[in-house]
Structure 1
Amino acid sequence: MTHGVVRSAANIDKRWIDFDAKQLFEERLGRTVHVVNDADAAGLAEVRYGAAKGKDGFVILTTLGTGIGVALIYNGVLIPNAELGHLELDCHDAESRASSGAREAEDLSYEDWAVRLQHYYSHLENLLWPDLFVVGGGISKKSKKFLPLLDLRTPIIPAALLNTAGIVGAAVLAAEDATQR
């Protein structure tokens, strides 16, 4: 999502690609709207109120759900529009192998899924050298079942706001947008 225009559509209808969602919603609702990627919203919430609050350096928040969302945060500032859930790993889109949706679809044990997560997070480590991983999304409330199975250089912790971070972050952005007008 860049400036309200949808850029990828892995888990929604492909007709959304390159569609100006902001313009559509503003026209239909008759008011100003702010459209944001769900992982970016979750990342913002975790920086303001959650597990990444007060963390210096480079934080990567991942949301593990139907897909894999990623928010990049440097010294408390969101770097928007990352689509690192779609990195290629072993000739597959990472999301198709390591998302919580893939775990469910393939009925993987947490141990088997952790092998895939290990591969994904190790790949992110080698590309970006983060200071912290924060794991959110639908599965984050069960983080004790899989995070201890990972062996990474980078500390990895569950999101404090769990699966509500995206809603909280979207509300923060809407409030800030309204204040700036």
Structure 2
Amino acid sequence: MKVLGIDIGGSAFKGAPVDTKTGRLLAERHRVEIKSPCSLRAGVAAAREIARHFQWKGPVGIGFPGVIQDGRIGAVGNLGDVWVGQSGATLFRRATGCPVRLVNDADAAGLAEMRFGAGRGRKGTVILLTFGTGIGSALFYDGQLVPNAELGHIPWRGKPFERYAAASVRKRARLDWPEWAQRVNVYFATVERLFSPQLIIIGGGVSKKSDKFLKFIRAHARVVPARHQNDAGIVGAAMTWEQ
């Protein structure tokens, strides 16, 4: 099955056609920059541009950075509260002219990694954490997804942990890799106390630079980079049509 996968982040919409049987992108991904928070008009226009870029007429799967229940958007992080309560499936269907399914963006990345990547065949508790503008998370037990597990919002010193350890914080605070890894270690210690995972998969843009920070990571669980790296969200969004 060929599906257009779109991964929405805090700084861009990224999309590409996906072969959902193999997890392969069928074309070079197309990226549309946005500002965060993002207006409804700008977000809809970005999705429309991606669909037009590929001249797409088939099904579309979208990974959205917020809680998703039956195509409707719940709590939203960096994209902004204007999206809360919207029927995302309806908005993006009108924008693209195609049938659309929505899923939480980190859940999408997790689905891709559990089927085609670092989590394939793994039992027990597996957590995927995407480090970018914020911290997205996907929680699995024996291969089954627990939807909308927003572990980046675990409180730390009165604020969500993602404001302390996201990849965007490393850049903004000008932290070197060991300094940022120390913050991630504090976060991992909390996540491990709560969920006792056997495997932690690191996704998002930093997964392409795992050689710079993994050697500084300390955790009881095995910690590995996402095999699909920053394309996992696109692949997993497309996979919603097989769920």
Give yes or no for TM over 0.5. yes
* Alignment deviations for residues 71-113 of structure 1 (CA, whole Å, 9 cap, x no partner): 0111112111111111111222111110001111111111111
Q: Which residue of 2 aligns with 1:50?
A: 117
1:143 is aligned to 2:205? no
Q: What are the within-5 Å matches in structure 2 for residues 21-100 of structure 1?
A: 21-100=88-167
Which one has a larger percent strand, Structure 1 or Structure 2?
Answer: 2
* Alignment deviations for residues 14-34 of structure 1 (CA, whole Å, 9 cap, x no partner): 110122211223345454310
Q: Which moved more, 1:70-79 or 1:59-68?
A: 70-79
Q: Which residue of 1 aligns with 2:71?
A: 4
Q: Which residue of 1 aligns with 2:239?
A: 172
Q: Give the conservation status (yes or no) of the 8 Å contact 2:76–2:84.
A: yes
3-state DSSP class of the match of 1:6?
Answer: strand
Q: Give the conservation status (yes or no) of the 8 Å contact 2:178–2:216.
A: yes
State how far apart, in whole Å, the 2-side matches of 1:92 and 1:102 are: 13
Q: Which residue of 1 aligns with 2:223?
A: 156
* Alignment deviations for residues 33-87 of structure 1 (CA, whole Å, 9 cap, x no partner): 1011110110000001000001111100000011100001111121111111111
State how far apart, in whole Å, the 2-side matches of 1:84 and 1:15 are: 22
Q: Which moved more, 1:21-30 or 1:7-16?
A: 21-30
Q: Which residue of 1 aligns with 2:168?
A: 101
Percent of pairs with identical residues: 44
3-state DSSP class of the match of 1:39?
Answer: helix
Code of the residue aligned with 1:82 in structure 2: it is A
State how far apart, in whole Å, the 2-side matches of 1:147 and 1:18 are: 38
* Alignment deviations for residues 142-166 of structure 1 (CA, whole Å, 9 cap, x no partner): 1121122121111111111100000
State how far apart, in whole Å, the 2-side matches of 1:28 and 1:87 are: 34
State how far apart, in whole Å, the 1-side matches of 2:96 and 2:211 are: 42
Q: Which residue of 1 aligns with 2:42?
A: none
Aligned-residue CA RMSD in angstroms? 1.4
State how far apart, in whole Å, the 2-side matches of 1:152 and 1:162 are: 20
3-state DSSP class of the match of 1:171?
Answer: helix
* Alignment deviations for residues 124-176 of structure 1 (CA, whole Å, 9 cap, x no partner): 000011111000001111112112212111111111110000001111223x1
3-state DSSP class of the match of 1:169?
Answer: helix
TM-score relative to the length of structure 2: 0.69
Matched positions, count: 176
Q: Which residue of 2 aligns with 1:131?
A: 198
3-state DSSP class of the match of 2:119?
Answer: coil
Q: Give the conservation status (yes or no) of the 8 Å contact 2:137–2:151.
A: yes
3-state DSSP class of the match of 2:73?
Answer: coil
